[in-house]
Structure 1
Amino acid sequence: METLQMKTPLVEMDGDEMTRVLWRIIRDELICPYVDLKTEYYDLGLPHRDETGDQVTLDAANATRRLGVAVKCATITANRHRQEEYGLKEIWPSPNGTIRAVLDGTAFRAPILLPFLRPAVPGWEKPITVARHAYGDMYKAVELVTNEPGVATLEFTGESGRTQSLTVAKTKGPAVFQGQHNTEGSIRAFVRSCFQYALDTKQDLWFSAKDTISKEYDGEFRRVFDEEFANTYKVKFDALGLQYFYTLIDDAVSRVMRSKGGFVWALKNYDGDVMSDMIAAAFGSLAMMTSVLMAPDGSVEFEASHGTVTRHFYRYRAGEKPSTNATATIFAWTGALRRRGELDGLPDLVSFAGKLEAACLETMRDGILTGDLAVLVEPEHCRQIVNYEESLEAIATRLAKKMHDADRR
């Protein structure tokens, strides 16, 4: 069987811990036997980020803008504990936050569904897609800890020389402060991408924030959503029978729980981070959630929406073979390969991505499940609980048959 050819490389961002282990197996055993894989490789593992002063993360983000398509493994976001564990020179920022700041895109996250995997919310009949603004808020915030009484102020000096100033707080003792920001341009790009995604997928669009409390910051998001809808998207939504509405985020949570699903839920950066994990867990597993970052210039980055599966990695390092679900990481690869094939006019590469996804889903439908799914299904739907190696071997077997059958035709 001849390997499928690629024209343009993908940006490949390697990661950390258990997902790094899965990454190599997926690449070498599920993709490379069938695709002459071309990638521009960047090691975003925490040790290498530390070695390069995090320059590798910026390089990977800029490469994504240049090549247009990237696939990313899950990475560690460092804290003081991780600094001690890895002996880091600094507590480096979230690589996802850095990449999103460079690309200024929107992260769309949607669950991967199985017919026998019932959501924890019984009324959900269709997937819920979280559209997460991927710039600013606490991910670009500055923070300050003080140890004496004093006054904190927020000051802005415009290019005109005009200064605006607000008193944040007068403190009587030690305190902690955080300054967040966003830009009108980034908010508007987020809003437009949400409306366009809803139109493309023919789904209603909800946006929620807390403008009753954050009257200026959250209010700016609501203002731009309302303005873009009225001026550009209302006629298009009406033509398709779609609805857009805003509601406070606490009201939105209760509405989501009572809904049947089947809509796009647009959220600010941190809100989207939290709620996408809630949606993933309620639909089944964090390992069953896709994530694609779409930038205004058309570049896209595919990744799993979960973390590095640290507890499984510690067990792996101790010689065990944990039951880690690789589905979302596989779908990150297939999403990137499909997009690359579409952009470069390579239908066979697009078809391969579909076959790999089908092999993955068929393995689970055949009752071969990792532990995270096995505890969620009725006994008749679980024939075998497997570790990560056994799961990937079962997927490889089904993929080989699909590729062989296609080659014979």
Structure 2
Amino acid sequence: MTQGPLRITVLEGDETGQELLEQSLRVLAPDVVAMELTLDTYDLSLARRRETGNEVVHEAARAMRESGFGIKAATVTPEGKDDVGSPNRILREEVDGKVIVRTGRRIPGITPLGGTFHPISVVRMAVEDAYGAEQWREGTEGAPDEVAFRTERITRSTCRAVAEYAFRQAKEIGGKVYGGPKWTVSPVYEGMLKEEMDAAAQRHPDVTYRPMLIDATYAGLITGATETPLVIPALNRDGDCLSDLVMPMFGSIAGAESVLLAFDDEYTTRVAMAEAPHGTAPTLQGKDVANPMAMILSCAAVLHYAGVAGYEGASRASRAIYESVLEAAAAGVRTPDLGGHASTTEFTSDVVQRVRTKIEVWASLGTAA
């Protein structure tokens, strides 16, 4: 087991995102998870980012590289081109994040769209592609012949990381690798990801592989391709769009976590940062009605990777949180977005009590999760 307390870098955010972070951290109290851990907090609110010219984001990224684990609240990205922009881009680039994983899963008591009962993991590029592309226009502004350009790039190392992790994830959950880019239309650019998917399939012959063009992937998700768990490798923007489809298929975009991963040369996780895939929901701020599931599950996800890294008690705590969130929903403790009447605080309190009880019971039985 890894020695010393688990250290997690906590990245504060804006509006409802910050409120949900504060609620979710209640499940990480040492007396709840029965393990020693330390939370190092950095203020990534829009006001603080502007005040420091984004230096606080760089500080947080350096801290997260050191700790290996992070939990991030949703943050506001201002629209002005001369403003501080998105902290996500800085964090992903500075920790050398390669992959973002978002797994939609059935929420007990909620009927999924189209009878989709098996988990669906979207494994997308964390960097490159359409995000961060160079853009410019030529010609007279507003004229019919004005032309807009965008130069995108992807690297083989990122394609390889996406493909390799997708096959490892499929093996872990007993699913198949499904989908892919539009390699027929873009054999040079998008074809690079397809080449790495094919190569990964050769390295993992025991994993079912069904490559599909991105448009057919969308159609398959809606028309019943989910007879088994699916893992979908994707380009950066394709994966972003796919995630926003997959999450609501199971009831709510707030029903699952999003995890940024950085790897070593053997594709062992070096940094894991979890967050909710939704935004800051300013219309819900201060109302205590937002769904905290995704943020609480983010805590569980970070503990899962800490357990893999050898931190004692982390795997047990992770499982307790995952089970408690889903059991709470099964028992009818749900926020309004899932047809319930529980407040943010009430849902979190219910989960905290369930986690504490599970760990106490497991300890009394002398068994590990």
What TM-score, normalized by structure 2, do the two folds share? 0.86
Letter in 2 for 1:110: T
Identity over the aligned pairs, expressed in percent? 26
Corresponding residue pairs, total = 352
Distance 1:30 1:344, change over 3 A: closer
Q: Secondary structure of 2:77's partner? A: coil
Name the CA distance, whole Å, in 2 between partners of 1:29 and 1:352. Answer: 9
Q: How do residues 335-354 of structure 1 correspond to structure 2 at under 5 angstroms?
A: 335-347=301-313, 349-354=314-319
Match of 2:333 in 1: 368
What residue is the counterpart of 1:212 in the other structure? 184
Q: Is the 8 A contact 1:6 1:38 kept in 2?
A: no
Q: In the alignment, is the contact (CA less than 8 A) between 1:341 and 1:350 conserved in 2? A: yes
The letter for the 2-side match of 1:249 is I
AA partner of residue 356 (structure 1): I
Matched, 1:329 2:295: yes
Once residues 198 and 27 of structure 2 are traced to their aligned partners in structure 1, the CA distance between those partners, rounded to angstroms, is: 48
Query: Which residue of structure 1 lines up, in the alignment, with residue 350 of structure 2?
Result: 394
1:190: which partner in 2?
162
| Post-superposition CA distance 1:98-124 (Å, at most 9, x none) | 3223323211111242332111112x2
Tell me the equivalent position of 1:66. Answer: 66
Aligned-partner residue type, residue 120 of structure 1: L
In 2, Cα distance between the equivalents of 1:193 and 1:337? 19
CA distance in 2, matches of 1:178, 1:24: 39
User: Structure 1, residues 382-404: CA drift from partner, whole Å, max 9, x if none?
Assistant: xx612212222333343444455
**One-letter amino acid of the counterpart of residue 11, structure 2:** M
> What amino acid is the match of 2:325?
C
Q: Does 1:276 align with 2:274?
A: no
Structure 1 residues 245 and 312, CA, compared in 2 at 3 Å: closer, same or farther?
same
Q: 1:28, CA displacement in angstroms?
A: 4.4
Instruction: Give distance in 1, aligned partners of 2:352 and 2:169.
Output: 33
What is the rounded CA distance, in whole Å, between the counterparts of 2:193 and 2:305 in structure 1? 30
Assess, with a 3 A threshold, how the Cα gap between structure 1 residues 196 and 364 changes in structure 2: closer, same or farther. closer
Q: Choose from 240, 262, 266 the match for 1:295.
A: 262
What runs of 5+ residues in structure 1 fail to find an aligned partner?
84-89, 150-170, 375-383
Structure 2 CA distance for aligned equivalents of residues 310 and 71 of structure 1: 20
SS at 1:178 equivalent: strand
Q: Distance in 2 between matches of 1:248 and 1:341?
A: 36
Contact conserved, 2:107 with 2:330, CA < 8 A, in 1?
yes
Q: Distance in 1 between matches of 2:336 and 2:92?
A: 32
1:96 and 2:88 equivalent? yes
Out of 137, 142, 155, which is 2:134 matched to?
A: 142
Q: Is the 8 A contact 2:6 2:37 kept in 1?
A: no
Partner of 2:12: 14
- The separation in 2 between residues aligned to 1:204 and 1:372, in whole angstroms, is 31
- Residue in structure 2 matching 1:245, options 210, 215, 228: 210
Q: Which residue of 1 aligns with 2:101?
A: 108
Alpha-carbon displacement from aligned partner over 1:272-294 (angstroms, at most 9, x marks no partner):
01111101001110111222222
Contact kept? 1:14, 1:43, Cα under 8 Å: yes
Partner of 1:37: 37
Task: Report the CA distance shift for 1:342/1:229 in structure 2 as closer, same or farther (over 3 A).
Answer: closer
Q: Which residue of 1 aligns with 2:75?
A: 75
| 1:78-100 superposed Cα distances (whole Å, 9 cap, x missing partner) | 214xx8xxxxxx33333223322
Q: Distance in 2 between matches of 1:225 and 1:359?
A: 35
Q: Give the alignment's Cα RMSD to 1 decimal.
A: 2.5
- Say which SS state the counterpart of residue 254 (structure 2) adopts: helix
Q: Gaps spanning 5+ residues in structure 2: where? A: none
Cα offset for 1:19? 1.9
* Corresponding residue SS for 2:153: coil
Structure 1 distance, partners of 2:327, 2:200, is 42
Conserved 8 A contact 1:10-1:340? no
CA shift for structure 1 position 223: 2.4
Between the aligned partners of 1:25 and 1:363, the Cα distance in structure 2 is 16
Give the alignment's TM-score, normalised by structure 1.
0.78
* CA deviation vs aligned residue, 1:258-307 (integer Å, no higher than 9, x gap): 21241101111011011111010011101112222222222222222222
Kept after mapping to 1: 8 A contact 2:100/2:126: yes
- Partner of 1:210, secondary structure, is coil
Q: Which aligned runs of 4 or more in structure 1 are off by greater than 6 angstroms?
A: none
